[in-house]
Amino acid sequence: MPEGDTVWRTAHHLHEALAGQVLTRTDFRVPAFATYDLRGLSVDEVVSRGKHLLIRAGDSSIHTHLKMEGAWHIYILDERWRRPTFEARVVLENAEHQAVGFSLGVMEVLDYDGEDDAVGHLGPDLLGPDWDAVKALCRLNRDPARPIFLALHDQRNLAGFGNEYVNELCFLSGILPTRPVGEIPDLARVLDRGRRMILANRDRVQRTMTGDTRPGRMHWVFSRRGRPCRRCGTAIRSGQLGAKPTQMRITSWCPRCQS
């Protein structure tokens, strides 16, 4: 699933292509919204909210979520699409560009005033103007027995982290994914480190957690099961954590460097 920095960059590029321009065509390829027509409206802005995207035009807001396979592409008019037509869920056009959302996990058109129903549950956005570390810490600490891995994943606590960031942040903080939130003495420092990590990657096309962008060298533990720890040489382990079988997520850690 795309991380918050990917969604932030997507919103940034969509804003450049759409904001201030009048929509000349809107094609919503989701049955519930197939009859909607926003032609003639000017796009005010495109913003990210954690892993959610909001395209605001007039009194309407196009809310999308990439989930696992989704992506937005921006094309010059009449340029050939780089993904199959049947994967398109929404097409937006203006006089210069065409924005196409492919395989989106969520695609809905809301009244502007209804945005809160879609994203109001989210915690402070790590890459947003509303970032509030104190509020995020308060939300994390509401359940001190919860494993830190799951607490950092929970978008209701703070919005933007996915599996990649949480695994890497736990390693860099020397914390086992299963360690309860209440047993972490300096949670504020962990949170600050995580925000600095996602800010450092915000403008990069190729995300890196180690500072090295060479293939195979961008992660400490993520997707490195059985391979030697870059610090101590111990084999990286992996497992699963989740409150329900449908919510299980893969964890990766070094049994020597993390406790």
Whether residues 113 and 142 share a domain: the answer is: no
pLDDT digits (tens, 9 = 90+) for 26-53: 999 999 999 999 999 999 999 999 999 9
Mean pLDDT of 155-180: 97
Q: Do both 93 and 53 map to the same domain?
A: yes
Mean pLDDT of 180-194: 97
Q: Are 32 and 110 in contact (CB under 8 A)?
A: no
Contact in structure between 241 and 249 (CB atoms under 8 Å) = yes
Say yes or no: 44 and 11 in one domain. yes
54 part of a folded domain: yes
For residue 39, what are the domain limits? 4-119
Are both 210 and 146 inside the same structural domain?
yes
My answer on whether 69 and 9 are in the same domain is: yes
Looking at the chain, the whole-number percentage of residues with pLDDT higher than 90 is: 93
Q: Is the pLDDT of residue 177 over 90?
A: yes
Instruction: Summarize pLDDT for 57-89 with one digit per residue, the tens.
Output: 999 999 999 998 999 999 999 999 999 999 999
Is 126 domain-assigned? no
- What does the pLDDT read at residue 1? 65
Last residue of a domain, one of 119, 150, 174: 119
Return d(Cα 225, Cα 207) in angstroms, integer: 19
Rounded Cα gap, residues 227 and 255, in angstroms: 12
Identify the CATH number of the domain in which residue 217 sits: 1.10.8.50
Say yes or no: 70 and 45 in one domain: yes
Residues 160 and 95 in one domain: no
Residues 79 and 146 in one domain: no
C-alpha 17: how far from its chain's center? 21
pLDDT of residue 186: 94
d(C-alpha 240, C-alpha 218), whole Å:
22
* 243: CB partners within 8 A, 6+ apart: 150
Q: How many domains does the chain have?
A: 2
* pTM confidence score: 0.93
**Which residues belong to the active site?**
2-3, 51
Same domain, 55 and 159: no
Mark whether 137 and 103 lie in a shared domain. no
Residue 207 has pLDDT above 90, yes or no: yes
pLDDT over threshold 80, residue 246: no
Q: What is the CATH number of the domain that holds 113?
A: 3.20.190.10
Tens digit of pLDDT for each residue in 101-158? 999 999 999 998 899 999 999 999 999 998 999 999 999 999 999 999 999 999 999 9
Question: Under the phi-then-psi rule, with left for phi > 0, alpha for psi from -120 to 50, and beta for the rest, what region is 119?
Answer: alpha
Q: Which of 86, 119, 152 is the last residue of a domain?
A: 119
- In this structure, are 48 and 16 located in the same domain? yes
Whether residues 71 and 155 share a domain: the answer is no
